């Protein structure tokens, strides 16, 4: 059981805390939805947000506010570490992925055993957060539902074709430092990345999932999105006529669809 060593609560419904478990330290933030005058209970369903590759605190804050407007409490934790940075190679990336999944699980476990546990817990992940959320939904049967947004499967091939700047820089560093070609990189990543979402997708109940894709995405290409969608059993799908980042212009539509999906799976 993770131990809460710090919790600072503010009058605006926000609180920040720190959990420790063995050598792991999880920094998290909770944002409570505004209390309605006629509300008889303080317990609301809660959504766990899982961030994008670069952390995305501004995006997380915006998404959290939108979900609070839909009467959900929201929680998210900091990344376990920075990804795709020298000297990380395949094994180090896999370890970082494992720790990110572990941090989400520790946070969920503490929430369920807190003084006021949420009546239901849901997860929303965007991009890399959607990939982590797929694994999380597969191994945590008590998550009521999941919104997996702009995510894909077949990570080894995805990383070789993604237009994401951080991925491209990492590939260039590997080529210059190790003199390694794409075929060898593909083999290394296939051998190292044990948390490949395609291996977990079949364990996620299809009816739990809302899948959000972008038709013009080059960060997570269409092929990789479709592989994950197929692996999840072809769940309900919201397909946007945008790219990975331009999809932000319809953020309210995405959050509204996710909120409706979560609400439909509340007890």
Q: What strand order describes the sheet that includes 209-214?
A: 3-9, 14-21, 24-31, 73-77, 46-50, 121-126, 145-149, 209-214, 236-240
Name the token pair of 228: 């994950």
Stretch among 76-90, 136-150, 203-217 having the lowest mean pLDDT: 76-90
Domain with residue 183: its CATH number is: 3.40.50.1820
CB atoms within 10 A of CB 67: 25
**39, pLDDT greater than 80:** no
Among residues 135, 104, 93, 122, the alpha carbon closest in space to that of 228 is found at: 135
**58, pLDDT greater than 90:** no
Task: List the domain range (segments joined by +) for residue 124.
Answer: 3-264
Cβ within 8 Å of residue 256, ≥6 positions away: 70
* Best mean pLDDT range from 79-83, 84-88, 254-258: 254-258
Among residues 127, 137, 148, 156, the alpha carbon closest in space to that of 245 is found at: 127
Average the pLDDT over 133-138 and give the result.
97
Quote the number of domains for the chain: 1
Q: What are phi and psi of 16, to 5 degrees?
A: -125, 140
**148, pLDDT greater than 70:** yes
d(CA 132, CA 124): 10
């Amino acid at each position: 059981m993770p131990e809460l060593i710090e919790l600072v609560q503010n009058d605006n419904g926000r609180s920040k805390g720190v959990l420790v478990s063995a050598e792991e330290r999880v920094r998290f933030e909770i944002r409570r939805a505004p209390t309605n005058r006629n509300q008889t209970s303080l317990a609301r369903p809660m959504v766990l947000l899982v961030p994008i590759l670069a952390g995305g605190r501004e995006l997380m804050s915006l998404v959290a506010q939108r979900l609070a407007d839909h009467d959900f409490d929201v929680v998210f934790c900091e990344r376990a570490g920075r990804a795709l940075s020298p000297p990380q190679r395949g094994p180090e990336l896999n370890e970082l992925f494992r720790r990110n999944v572990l941090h989400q699980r520790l946070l969920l476990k503490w929430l369920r055993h807190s003084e006021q546990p949420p009546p239901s817990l849901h997860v929303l992940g965007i991009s890399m957060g959607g990939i982590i959320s797929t694994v999380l939904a597969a191994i945590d049967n008590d998550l009521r539902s999941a919104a997996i947004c702009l995510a894909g499967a077949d990570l080894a091939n995805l990383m070789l074709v993604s237009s994401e700047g951080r991925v491209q820089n990492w590939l260039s560093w590997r080529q210059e430092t190790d003199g390694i070609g794409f075929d060898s990189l593909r083999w290394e990543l296939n051998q190292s990345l044990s948390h490949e979402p395609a291996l977990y997708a079949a364990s996620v109940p299809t009816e739990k999932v809302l899948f959000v894709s972008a038709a013009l995405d080059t960060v997570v290409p269409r092929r990789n999105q479709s592989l994950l969608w197929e692996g999840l059993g072809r769940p309900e799908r919201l397909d946007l006529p945008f790219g990975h980042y331009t999809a932000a212009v319809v953020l309210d539509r995405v959050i509204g669809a996710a909120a409706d999906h979560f609400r439909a799976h509340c007890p």
